[in-house]
Chain A
């Protein structure tokens, strides 16, 4: 066992940073999509309900890898014709952008269900109290529903984030320079596949453990003021 990893240590660390960046960016997009999906599914309008349901059903039924491939390779012609309209030659999605869109899309589909459950779990009286106080619909959502929703949704979202963190490995198939990609490069040079994939595995293990700890503190913070009754 060689402890400086044949000089590939810094490259793997850079890959880990890229993985974290990708996961956090996809998380932001996924939360927005999930919130939109949950609002659509709980709205009183039938077409919106149908749209939210179709989004979460279709996206959850197709493998993440297929979404990554479809969004990266499938948008080449569309992006090129879009580039011609705006007069930008060779417009295309970068591997990072495609990865963020694909993973955000998948995260959002699952988050739709988690957030919908959280919205439903808030007692009806709270919303009615807001209406009685003359708050606008928007105010009721941002001041009454949202702050309470996070507390209920946090454990579910935490699980989804762990899944997202592991799914970032898929983006290596479209060539983004994250952990797996750097491990693969190191393998072709050193011919030590087991060593480097094991190191990659331990980096992922470290990242997931770290996010588990972070999640624990977030949950604790969100639950402050609530006495746990068991």
Chain B
């Protein structure tokens, strides 16, 4: 192990880690916002409301993120209409392509988590709120969603960790996040094992901090006390 070389490149790794965190942060927050209507529509009793989110989730969960990323980053350039539109300034940029793809990808998974959580709510609680005279939207916002958030939180934290690992794919569209940075540095100093292992340690560290953070959030939301079994 060449410790001093690792130490020398540490600032670059931190720079890469910050980009990784930006990618993951934007993707999981926007993904959650997008997933809430998707998940609610997915758990609808009417088939025509249910089918469109189902198709969306089926496509994004059934294909690799790499394919989706290439479809957006390389694929969209095939259409002149896209190149001519105002969107092109964003879609030309690998950062926005990566965040957009990761957002769409994770939204499908989070929507499925949300559906599971909504369906896991004891029907008696929803019936109780209806019996108390709460309207359907009121039931949704005061009973179903807060309850589903607590049931789904552990699964959501898993999804965030999975997205952290998936963000390494952004290196294939020239972004210099942790993996991309490691590959660039290796092209300079040829210390393959050391540099990849350093990147790996960074990933482990970030996921450890995230797991701890979600544990705290679970305690703050009193997830255990709300399960009521």
Contacts and interface: CB of A to CB of B under 8 A. Distances in A.
The answer to whether A binds B is yes
Interface of A: 58, 61-66, 69-70, 73-74, 76, 166-170, 172-173, 180, 183, 187, 191-195, 197-198, 200-201, 204-205, 208-209
Contacts of A194: 71, 74-76, 78-79
Contacts of A62: 165, 200, 203-204
Nearest to A173: B172
A198 B193 contact: no
Contacts of B199: 66
A201 B63 contact: yes
B18 to A, nearest CB: 17
Contacts of B172: 173
27 contacts: A58-B204, A65-B168, A66-B168, A69-B183, A70-B200, A74-B192, A166-B64, A166-B65, A180-B64, A180-B66, A180-B67, A191-B78, A193-B70, A194-B74, A194-B75, A195-B78, A198-B75, A200-B67, A201-B63, A201-B67, A201-B68, A201-B71, A204-B64, A204-B67, A205-B59, A205-B62, A209-B62
Contact of B66 (A169, A193, A198): A169
B120 interface: no
Contact of A61 (B68, B76, B169, B207): B207
B171 interface: yes
A64 B192 contact: no
Given A74-B193, A166-B63, A201-B71, A65 B179 contact: yes
A69 B186 CA distance: 11
Contacts of A64: 165, 168
**Main SS of chain B's interface residues?**
helix
Contacts of A66: 168, 179, 182, 196, 199-200, 203
B166 interface: yes
B9 interface: no
Interface residues of B, number: 39
**Main SS of chain A's interface residues?**
helix
Contacts of B62: 204-205, 208-209
A197 B71 contact: yes
B193 A61 contact: no
A165 B7 CA distance: 37
B26 interface: no
Contacts of A69: 179, 183, 196
Interface in B134-153: none
Contact of A170 (B59, B66, B186): B66
Contact of B203 (A63, A167, A200): A63
B78 A193 contact: yes
Given A63-B166, A65-B169, A198 B64 contact: no
